[in-house]
Chains A and B, each alone.
Chain A
Amino acid sequence: MKERFRLSPQTVLVLDAFLERPKSWRYGYDISRDTGLKSGTLYPILIRLADHELVETRWETTESGKPPRHMYRLTPEGVRSARAQLRDSGNRKSSMVVLREVKI
């Protein structure tokens, strides 16, 4: 992994979706339906995750007449990092909640 990057709420959704079945390959549309993200939001996230080597990609040939599909899966480093990042973001969220409660 090159470096840790800022987790947007949409990235958290995508990582969550990947972590539901960390070892299986997923299609873009499949992730889009799971997360509710449109392709315009989903693909930049996937590109960024692939650039950080957290997601690996491959082309899957399908039945005749249809073009091959691009598939995505978390790398082992991606699984580790996603779990850590989600844990961190969860901690941050809970500490923000605590802070808010203290302010109130």
Chain B
Amino acid sequence: MSQIRGVARRVLHFVVRLAPPRTRSWGDAMIGEMDHIDDEWDALLWALGGTVALCRCSLIEHLTNLRKALSDEMSAQRKATRLIKSILSGVAVAVVVLIISMLTLATLQRASWVEPNQARLAQLLFAVVIPDALCLLAALALWRPQRRLASGILAAGAALGAHSIIFFVA
């Protein structure tokens, strides 16, 4: 093997080693073909042209992979944001239900016709049973079409229920 061919081969081998796997097989094809070229200078030109082609293809492939990775990351971020938004919306729905329920309770407690023993029952009913039941029903109804929203409502309802049980037991 002449020196020129040796240099050409080494250059091409070096670039092939750095190329991504898909491009590498094409690099091997260029190396294989080079050994069938009789003229030394033609072989060198072949190797140099192949080097340029491999560099270009490798760069394009690296950039494509990078763009894909970035787009995957962005789509994962977008998914996470959507999940958080949905759950927070569910929590907001549960809080609205609780506020309406507590306002009703406050109105009832101020009413003159409510007996003291009925006031305790109303407190239990409007602070725990009705909001929790509404949250549970809403979560069940929304479970299939809006699972994340339903999860938020359910989580808020569960927190409310746990808090109320602790309050009443204490």
- A-side residues, CB < 8 A to B, are 27-29, 32, 38-44, 46-47, 57, 59, 62, 66-70
Residues of B within 8 Å of A67, CB to CB, are: 31-32, 35
Cβ–Cβ contact A29 & B57, under 8 A: no
In the assembled complex, B152 has its CB within 8 A of some CB on chain A = no
A79 and B26 CA atoms in complex are apart in Å by 22
Residues of A within 8 Å of B47, CB to CB, are: 39
A8 and B60 CA atoms in complex are apart in Å by 18
Cβ–Cβ contact A28 & B56, under 8 A: no
* Number of B residues, CB within 8 Å of A: 23
A12 and B162 CA atoms in complex are apart in Å by 74
Q: Kindly identify which residue among A32, A47, A59, A66 contacts B57, using a CB–CB cutoff of 8 Å.
A: A47
Residues of B within 8 Å of A68, CB to CB, are: 32
A28-B29, A29-B36, A41-B53 are known contacts; what are 8 more A-B pairs with Cβ within 8 Å?
A: A28-B30, A28-B33, A40-B51, A43-B49, A44-B53, A44-B56, A70-B28, A70-B33
| Known contacts A29-B36, A29-B37, A69-B33; A39 and B50 CB within 8 A of each other | yes
Secondary structure at the B interface, as helix, strand, loop or mixed, is helix
Q: Kindly identify which residue among A43, A62, A66 contacts B30, using a CB–CB cutoff of 8 Å.
A: A43
A37 to chain B, nearest CB (A): 9
Closest to B55 in A: A40
A57 and B26 CA atoms in complex are apart in Å by 10
Counting chain B CB atoms within 10 Å of each CB, which of A27, A40, A44, A66 scores highest? A40
In the assembled complex, B137 has its CB within 8 A of some CB on chain A = no
A21 to chain B, nearest CB (A): 18
Cβ–Cβ contact A27 & B49, under 8 A: no
B24 to chain A, nearest CB (A): 12
Residues of A within 8 Å of B26, CB to CB, are: 43, 46-47, 70
- The 10 A-B residue pairs whose C-beta atoms are closest, nearest first, are A70-B29, A40-B49, A39-B49, A40-B52, A38-B49, A67-B32, A43-B53, A40-B53, A28-B33, A39-B50
| Known contacts A43-B30, A44-B57; A27 and B36 CB within 8 A of each other | yes
Q: Kindly identify which residue among B32, B36, B46 contacts A39, using a CB–CB cutoff of 8 Å.
A: B46
Counting chain A CB atoms within 10 Å of each CB, which of B28, B51, B52, B53 scores highest? B53
| Known contacts A28-B29, A28-B30, A47-B26; A40 and B50 CB within 8 A of each other | yes
| Known contacts A39-B53, A40-B52, A43-B53; A29 and B32 CB within 8 A of each other | no
